[in-house]
Amino acid sequence: MQEKKILVTGANGQIGKVLTEELRKVYGIYNVLATDIQRNLDDPCYEFLDVLNQYRMKEIISDYQISEVYHLAALLSASGEYNPVKTWNINLNGWISILELAKELKLEKVFFPSTIAVFGKTTPRDFTPQHVPLQPETIYGVSKATGEMLCHYYHQKYGIDVRSLRYPGIISYQSIPVGGTTDYAVEIFYAAKKNEVYKCFLEKDTRLPMMYINDAIRATIELMQAPSESIKCRMGYNLAAISFTPEEIYEEIRTHYPDFKIIYEPDFRQKIASSWTEVIDDQEARKDWGWQHAFDLKAMVNDMLENIAI
């Protein structure tokens, strides 16, 4: 039997970096090829890859005999608004190239990261069900909702084993995320550690679904390892862990740093956050492939403060 050979695009990003490391623990360093648009001479299994270069992507998949692709290259909700065409190209054209190559080169499985940004004002905000109208308000959300539809299309039309998760905001210490609306929930830790006043770009009571990086990575690997017949949803699975407001995470951090201060100066990202949901119902993920989160707000804040390096 051929060994599993994995390709990760966007491997230098917030999720890509940690996912690549974890996949390498499971499958071995040389079975997980990291790719991104910066050179990385320190990584022994790394290729420069612009996901818009379909020719090069095909060459890499063939040369390395790739069997699984995790397509993490993307522009996020806030940065995407500055360049809608580029966001569409990277998030969607990169993805359709992978789906086409999955068909042509008979890849075993492909993973598409979706997001809570696929939701919009037509979506119930509390306990958002799996199957709801998707009418996103950002180009990022539009590209991800369309990407999910492609997941479903390529699965039912060509039998591609495509799997996808709707990630909430991800909190991690391994890298500083850029361009997202949920990034405040990472920035706030750096401010607390540096003893600085944190200027929050969302209102204090903006509740959003969030998740600690350890849970997000485990969810991704568990989804991809689940038997194909247990994957009943070929669009993005709702995936939940915790939901909190800026004020709630601030108060939790203040149990460690009682003098820490926050001020609220909402900017254009408030409008984006207000169009998303507050709490997600992820019972289908829990039922179909056994998803369970491990980190609540307290555990996540403890772990962040222990690990974050400034």
Which residue, among 211, 154, 181, 156, has the nearest Cα to 276 in the 3D structure?
181
Q: How many residues lie near ligand AKB (CB under 6 A)? A: 11
The minimum distance between CB 117 and ligand AKB, in angstroms, equals 5
Cross-strand pairs, 167: 115
Nearer to ligand AKB, 32 or 235 (CB): 235
The minimum distance between CB 114 and ligand AKB, in angstroms, equals 8
Nearer to ligand AKB, 12 or 31 (CB): 12
The minimum distance between CB 244 and ligand AKB, in angstroms, equals 14
- 231 DSSP 8-state letter: -
What are the CA-CA distances from residue 41 to residues 9, 35, 206 (Å)? 16, 12, 41
- String of contacts with ligand AKB for each residue 31-70, x by CB under 6 A: ----------------------------------------
Rounded Cα distance, 271 and 27, in Å = 41
Among the options 140, 154, 173, 237, which is catalytic?
Answer: 140
Rg (CA), the chain: 19
Rounded Cα distance, 145 and 266, in Å = 26
What lies within 8 Å, CB to CB, of 231 at 6+ separation is 161, 163, 223, 288, 289
The minimum distance between CB 156 and ligand AKB, in angstroms, equals 26
Tokens representing 124?
């119930």
- Is 117 a binding residue for ligand AKB by CB under 6 A? The answer is yes
Rounded Cα distance, 240 and 140, in Å = 20
Q: Decide if 140 is catalytic.
A: yes
Contact 197, 263 (CB under 8 A): yes
Contact 135, 120 (CB under 8 A): yes
Q: In this chain, which of 9, 31, 97, 115 binds ligand AKB, going by CB under 6 A?
A: 115
The minimum distance between CB 17 and ligand AKB, in angstroms, equals 15
Which residue, among 168, 150, 60, 164, has the nearest Cα to 110 in the 3D structure?
164
Tokens representing 288?
């179909």
What are the CA-CA distances from residue 178 to residues 15, 48, 83 (Å)? 12, 20, 14
The minimum distance between CB 288 and ligand AKB, in angstroms, equals 22
Contact 254, 211 (CB under 8 A): no
What lies within 8 Å, CB to CB, of 83 at 6+ separation is 75
- String of contacts with ligand AKB for each residue 120-159, x by CB under 6 A: --------------------x-------------------
- Applying CB under 6 A, the span of 112-120, 185-193, 216-224, 225-233 interacting with ligand AKB comes to 112-120
- Is 116 a binding residue for ligand AKB by CB under 6 A? The answer is yes
Which of helix, strand or coil describes residue 205? Answer: coil
Between residue 69 and residue 88, which ones bind ligand AKB under the rule CB under 6 A? 76-77
- String of contacts with ligand AKB for each residue 153-182, x by CB under 6 A: --------------x-x----------xxx
Q: Which residue's CB atom is positioned nearest to ligand AKB?
A: 180
Rounded Cα distance, 273 and 280, in Å = 14
Nearer to ligand AKB, 209 or 234 (CB): 209
- Is 216 a binding residue for ligand AKB by CB under 6 A? The answer is no
Nearer to ligand AKB, 72 or 301 (CB): 72
Q: Which residues are catalytic?
A: 140
Task: Name the residues that contact ligand AKB, by CB under 6 A.
Answer: 76-77, 115-117, 140, 167, 169, 180-182
